[in-house]
Amino acid sequence: MAALLLLLLALCCRGLQPADVHLYSNRYQGDQVLRIIPSSHVEIQLLKQLFQNMTVDLWQPSSTSYINIGSSVDVHVGHSRTESLKAHLQQAHIHHEVLISNVQKEMEKQAGHRPSRKRRSEFQYDYEVYHPLVEIQEWMFEMNRTHPHLVDLFSIGYSYEGRPLYVLKLGNRKRLHKKAMWIDCGVHAREWIGPAFCQWFVKEAVNSYQHDSSMRRLMNQLNFYIMPVFNVDGYHYSWKTDRFWRKTRSKNAKYHCRGVDANRNWKVKWCDAGASLHPCDDTYCGPFPESEPEVKAVARFLRKHRKHVKAYISIHAYAQMLLYPYSYKYATIPNFDCVETAAQNAVSALYSAYGVKYRYGPASTTLYVSSGSSIDWAYKNGIPYAFAFELRDTGYYGFLLPDALISPTCTETMRAVRAIASGLLKKCTS
C-alpha cells in the first residue's frame, strides 16, 4: 500500500517528457560560453564590473568572489551580449576563448531529439541518456519491484513544491547493523551527470551482484543509501524552463528571485566565507540553516542514522576533482591520513579506466573556501569519510556533457566509489 501511494504521488508530479523539452523555445540560440583568464587584480575587478552590468551566467567558479589571477572563468553569455563582452575583453587585453559557440546546438546533442518511450524494466532503460525527473522516479519504483531482495525504496520527506524525496537503500537484507554509505546526486539542478551516475551505480550494483564477487561482498557487508535527485524541484525546472538553473525553487518574501544554493544551506559555519546573503545570487545561503526542506530532510535522516553511516558522498560537476573537508577553512582534519589515502585510492581507481586525471584534496585549497557545505556538515556530525566529486569535464562541455560521455564518466566514477566503499571494510588509524 505504501509503495502504491508513493507511485501515485510520483505520477501526480509528472513533468514534461523529453520530446517536449529539448528545444526550450530556442531560448539559447546563439548563446556562447567563454573562458576568460585574468592576469591581474585590475582585470579581476574589471570582470566583476562587466558581469554585474551585463547579467551573465557564471559557470566556473560559482561566484565572482572566487575569481583568481591565472584561474579560468567560464561564463555563459546571452546572444545579445556576446559581442559586447568580447569587445570589452579585447579592449582590456584580457585573455579569452570561446568554449561553446552555440549553446542551443550543444544542448540538443545532450537533451536529444529522442522519442519519449515507456520502459517496462531496467533492462529496457537507457542509462546512456539523461532522463527527466518523472522517468527517474518511475525507474526507482521499477528497480524496487524487480530487485526486492536488494533494493528498498522510501521517501524521507517532501520538497518545497511538494515532490517526494526518494531514496533507494541497496544491500543484502539478511544482515543487520551494517555500516552504510550515503550517495546523493543532483544537489545543483544543472549538473545532469550527477543523477545519471546515481542511476548507473544502482544498475551496476544490482546487476553485478550475482557474478561479481567484490560487489557482492560490498552489498553483503554494507548498505548504500542512494538519492538520485536531491534537488527535485530545481532538476525538474532545469528540464522544463531553464537548463542552467542551479538552486532550489523556494520563494523569497522580499525578492522575486527564487531558490537557495543547497550546498550552502547546511548548519556548519552557515553563510560565512564563500556564501552570499543575497537571494538573487547563485550561492545564496538561505534565510537560515536548513531552511530548504530538501536539506532538512537529508540532515534529519543522516542524524538519525549517524551510528551506521560511515561515508558520505555528494556527486557534482564539473572540474574533475575529489574533495574532502574542510571547505570552510584552511585546516587539516583529524583523520587526514585515512581520508587522504581513501581519496588517493579512489582517484587511482578512476584513472585506471580511461586515464582521466582528477585532482584531490581539501575542498578549501583544491577548489575554494565555501561555508555551509554538505561535506563539512557530514564530517562535523560524525561521518568520518565525507567526499564531494566534481565529475567530467574541465570546461570543454561544462554542464552540457554529451550523452556519449555518460558511460565513460560513470564507469570511471563507479571504480572510485567502489574503492572508497572497499576502504570502509578495512581499519584505518591516523
Residues known to be catalytic: 390
At 297, which amino acid appears? A
Instruction: For residue 233, give the C-alpha cell.
Output: 524541484
Would you say 200 and 414 are in contact if contact means Cβ atoms under 8 Å apart? yes
CA gap 407, 394 in Å, rounded? 17
Exposed, middle or buried by CB within 10 Å (0-12, 13-18, 19+), for 113? exposed
Ramachandran class of 95: left when φ > 0, alpha when ψ lies in -120 to 50, beta otherwise: beta
Residues in a beta bridge with 154? 167
Neighbours of 100 (CB within 10 A): 24
Helix axes 336-354, 406-424, angle to 10 degrees: 150
Residue found under cell 533492462 = 123
Q: Quick one: which of 149, 124, 125 has its CA closest to 136?
A: 125
What is the rounded CA–CA span in Å between residue 149 and residue 109? 38
DSSP string for residues in 229-268: -SSHHHHHHHHHT-TT--S-----SS-S-----TTS-SSS
Q: How far apart are CA 314 and CA 311, in angstroms?
A: 10
Q: What is the DSSP letter of 98?
A: E
Round to whole Å and give the CA distance between 374 and 290.
11
Calculate ∠ Cα 359-192-395, nearest 5°: 45
State the Cα angle at 359 between 43 and 260, rounded to 5°: 65
Separation of alpha carbons 179 and 196, rounded Å:
25
Whether the CB-CB separation of 374 and 312 falls below 8 Å is answered with: yes
Cα(357)–Cα(378) distance, rounded to whole angstroms?
Answer: 26
Q: Which residues pair with 151 in a beta bridge?
A: 170
